[in-house]
Structure 1
Amino acid sequence: MPSRPHLYDLLALLTVVVAGVSLFIAGARAADLSTAALAMSNLYARWNMRGHNRLDSPRREVR
């Protein structure tokens, strides 16, 4: 699978920042902002890991 351009990652970051600032200006509480940030970061993590199987990732041996 070809890798995504870094531009997509930058756009995702800017979208999250703009959404957070917009919610703050609109008067959202800190708890609401943290919940929204957590949800958006989880969505980004899942999008970033699409096409990857967790079992395929290298594991470090614990000694």
Structure 2
Amino acid sequence: MTLGQKLRIRRESLNLTRIQVARACKVVQSTVINWETERHVPKLYPAEMKALCDLLKFSIEDLVV
């Protein structure tokens, strides 16, 4: 499973919108769409990466494996 698939599936399973994820990570909604469609990988500062992991209930290891 790709990173984008993991993000989308987890976001949907938690009933979160892309806007909610974007706000937590301090990015725009189109950035989240790009992550989920594999156009880009998340390039976040540590605080924003932690926010993404906390929101989606992922560990950093979950994202890279």
TM-score exceeds 0.5: no
What is the TM-score normalised by the length of structure 1? 0.32
